[in-house]
Amino acid sequence: MDTTELTSPARPECDLSIVVPLYNEEESLPELMAWIDKVLTGRKYEVVFVDDGSTDGSWQAVQGLKQQFPDHVRGISFARNQGKSAALHSGFKVVRGKVVITMDADLQDSPDEVPELERKVVEEGFDVVSGWKKKRHDPITKTVPTKLYNWATRRVSGIHLHDFNCGLKAYRREVVQAVEVNGEMHRYIPVLAKQAGFSKIGEQVVQHQARKYGTTKFGLERFVNGFLDLLTIAFIGRFGHKPMHLFGVLGTLMFLGGFGLFAGIGGYKLWAMYEGASARNIADISAFHIALAFMVMGLQLFLAGFVAELITRNAPSRNVYLLKDQI
Ligand code: UDP
Ligand code: MG
């Protein structure tokens, strides 16, 4: 077995793929799979369990489910914990369904929602349908910052979703093949989809349960990381292909500001000398140091822009565009 290559057995595509990222969720898995199978009896579907380096018996549980549901269960197991985004990314690489649904493993998301989510993609033509946990069963330390986070994401992205980070979402397969989910970007897949060119993004109110087994895998640092990622995504969306348009402008303004100040001080010195006054040494004037700092920082920003341009010009995705049509 190649230990990094993901494989997808050559079988005809199916209607529906459910991708379940999981990290130490052994108790939930049998119940989750039984529930999914009950909802989808008789359908052509697959569930791709991505074991994100669990240290409990989760992978054994997935292997057991493979025995029990050989036609429907597939699994990937990471050698170590890589994060939910990495797990989703790898699941997305191997899916064969026309519609792809993501769902958390902890039974907080209800498989009963799957048919309606799928219908919205197939019949109403949505590219992305995000679940909206309108009535949440989570502690207040999570629900309050989440409101702020969703508001900020709406402002930055222009996408009107109430609940960006809902684990339960449905996609057209083309969407999950087009977006790169890495780092902790799983919180922003609708934003990444929009940036790639998928514009029909909707939402559906979904049931949400309290966690039945185990504990949450994300601490309070999720909010700090979430906001940093939001800044990144806003930057990439606007300047990812033309970083010089940000750094160049900032750098030039700073440099010119510094240079202007410098020229002013020089002029003042000449004038003072002409007037015969005892002009101070130019380096004794505090504005001189400010001018110098502005010029140096301006130059550095400018150079950062150049380096960023060189990097984006060599990025493998630099000229990949989503097409609407071709005749
Ligand atoms: N998860 C994962 N890798 C991680 C952390 C979490 O695959 O490093 C999975 C986890 O097992 C669950 C889903 O991501 O299926 C959501 O995690 P969790 O329920 O802990 O998040 P919360 O519901 O508290 O936001
Ligand atoms: Mg959860």
Residue of 51, 77, 218, 220 with the most ligand 1 atoms within 8 Å of its CB, for mutation:
218
How remote is the CA of residue 106 from the centroid of ligand 2, in Å? 6
Of 292, 283, 231, 233, nearest to 260 by C-alpha is 292
Instruction: Taking residues 314-318, report their average pLDDT.
Output: 85
pLDDT one-digit tens code per residue, 249-306: 999 999 999 999 999 998 988 888 888 776 667 777 788 999 999 999 999 999 999 9
C-alpha 47/C-alpha 73 separation (Å) is: 5
Instruction: Taking residues 115-130, report their average pLDDT.
Output: 98
Q: What are the residues whose beta carbon lies below 5 Å from ligand 2 (ion)?
A: 104, 106, 108
How remote is the CA of residue 176 from the centroid of ligand 2, in Å? 21
Contact 131, 169 (CB under 8 A): yes
Kindly state the tokens that stand for 122: 């197939």
Ligand 1 atom nearest the C-alpha of 216 is: 20
Mean pLDDT for all residues in the chain: 93
Angular region, 214: left φ>0, alpha ψ -120 to 50, beta rest:
left
Residue 65 has pLDDT above 80, yes or no: yes
Residue 7 has pLDDT above 80, yes or no: no
Q: Whose CA is nearest to atom 19 of ligand 1?
A: 216
Ligand 1 site residues (CB inside 6 A) read 21-23, 25, 52, 81, 83-84, 87, 104-106, 108, 167, 216-218
Question: Residue 6 has what pLDDT?
Answer: 83
Residue 202 has pLDDT above 90, yes or no: yes
Contact 113, 18 (CB under 8 A): no
C-alpha 213/C-alpha 211 separation (Å) is: 6
Residues facing 64 on adjacent strands: none
Contact 15, 45 (CB under 8 A): yes
Residue 10 has pLDDT above 70, yes or no: no
Of 41-50, 67-76, 221-230, which range is least confident?
Answer: 221-230
The pTM of the full predicted model, rounded to 2 decimals, is: 0.90
CA 219 to chain CA centroid, Å, is 18
Question: Residue 279 has what pLDDT?
Answer: 60
Ligand 1 atom nearest the C-alpha of 215 is: 20
Contact 90, 76 (CB under 8 A): yes
pLDDT one-digit tens code per residue, 75-88: 999 999 999 999 99
C-alpha 266/C-alpha 292 separation (Å) is: 13
Give the E-state strand segments of 23-116 in sequence order.
45-51, 73-77, 97-102
Provide the angle, in degrees to the nearest 10, between the axes of the packed helices 114-122 and 28-39: 50
Kindly state the tokens that stand for 263: 């020229």
**Above pLDDT 70, what percent of the chain?**
97
Contact 185, 92 (CB under 8 A): no
